Structure 1
Amino acid sequence: MRLLVVCLGNICRSPMAEGVLRARIEASPLAGQVEIDSAGTGDWHVGQPPDRRAVAKAREHGVDIGDLRARQFAVDDHHDFDWLLCADRANLRDVRRLAPADGARAGSGLLLEWAGLADDPEIPDPYTGGEAQFEHVFRLLDAAAAGVLARLQREYRR
């Protein structure tokens, strides 16, 4: 199973999601069976590390994302992943707009909905906010990671 988390710039939400998902999966019976990656729909930060506030917030919660580097979402991601899990509706719209006509295998949806957390299915972008916004987003992503793990254990365990 291969999951790609997608946000706008791949420096805040999606790398934090990648880190917390990877940590939860590696500590579970699904370790080694699920690959996690992240990407952004925009190209502004390609090659850059995550935002320093995202790195600090993740580290505060025991998750190291400092070695990640931003990359832009590509059409081939529709073929290379099983699920494209987006932070918000704009990202989902962009991902679906880039779906190839040749029948890509990846499903796409909102990360929070896919994880079973549909009260407000969008993850707010903390980029222009402060510490409280990064904490809120990390808590949402941690809850989403728990939901993703539960779903994977129910549906995809080999």
Structure 2
Amino acid sequence: MRALCMTQTPSHTIRILFVCLGNICRSPMAEGVLRHLAAEQSLKLEIDSAGTADYHIGEPPDERAQQACSGRGVDITGLRGRQVSPEDFHRFDYILAMDTENLRRLRAMQPAGAPARLSLFMDYAPGPQKGMAVPDPYYGDSQDFDEVLNMLELAAQGLIKQVCQA
């Protein structure tokens, strides 16, 4: 893959948290993709994922998510679901939601004075996908997981470019 940090790499560790509803599909896939891209470029990023709901705490990512990621050389088998905590809003620089409902929940949860920047992950994607919600593939098939992975890869590349310019 081509280098995404054309200008410079960040001088400090940037902390990024991806958030979806249950933390077994979209957000662990996003975590895996960004970890993979950051490792390829030796970027100092701390990357995690969580859910706004407590449905899947301690569970591994959905098998279809694992398979889609594995097909692109991204291993998410060791990840486990967890719920967003108030401390996350102080620990992470960026908290990136997969859709507007989860972004709304995050804004309602954010403690006063917490510095984390909240936005949609797709705000970092180029072109017409910028600002879109990442659809939940949970009730779909393997093709839905592949399409979500395509979206996540685009946004991850855009996020890395932004982080390198900051």
TM-score strictly above 0.5: yes
SS in 1 for 2:114: coil
- 1:76 aligned to which of 70, 83, 87: 87
Q: Is the CA contact 1:115–1:151 (under 8 Å) kept in the aligned structure 2? A: no
Q: Deviations over 1:44-99 (max 9, x none)?
A: 10000000000011001100000000000111110010010000000100001001
Residue in structure 1 matched with residue 134 of structure 2 by the alignment? 123
Alpha-carbon distance in structure 2 between the residues aligned to 1:78 and 1:116: 26
1:108 equivalent in structure 2: 118
- The runs of at least 4 consecutive aligned structure 1 residues that moved more than 2 Å come to 114-120
Q: Deviations over 1:106-149 (max 9, x none)?
A: 01000010344553510000000001100100000111111111
Contact 1:117 1:147 in 2 (8 A): no
Q: Distance in 2 between matches of 1:39 and 1:51?
A: 14
Counterpart in 1 of 2:110?
99
* Contact 2:50 2:82 (C-alpha < 8 Å) held by counterparts: yes
Distance 1:29 1:4, change over 3 A: same
| 1:16 paired to 2:21 | no
Q: Is the 8 A contact 1:15 1:68 kept in 2?
A: yes
For these two proteins, the number of residue pairs brought into alignment is 152
Length-normalised TM-score, structure 1:
0.92
Q: Show CA shifts across 1:18-50 (max 9, x none).
A: 0000000111142xx211000000101000000
For the structure 1 residues 12 and 117, does the alpha-carbon distance in structure 2 shift closer, same or farther, using more than 3 Å as the test? Answer: farther
Q: Does 1:38 align with 2:53?
A: no
Q: Name the CA distance, whole Å, in 1 between partners of 2:34 and 2:147.
A: 16
Partner of 1:127, secondary structure, is coil
Code of the aligned partner of 2:81: A
1:143 correspondence with 2:161: no
Aligned residue identity for 1:132: Q
CA distance in 1 between counterparts of 2:147 and 2:69 reads 12
| TM-score normalized with structure 2 length | 0.88
Q: 1:88 aligns with which of 99, 104, 109?
A: 99
| Distance across 1 between alignment mates of 2:137 and 2:115 | 31
* 8 Å CA contact retained: 1:40, 1:72: yes
Quick one: percent identity of the two aligned structures?
47
1:91 partner amino acid: N
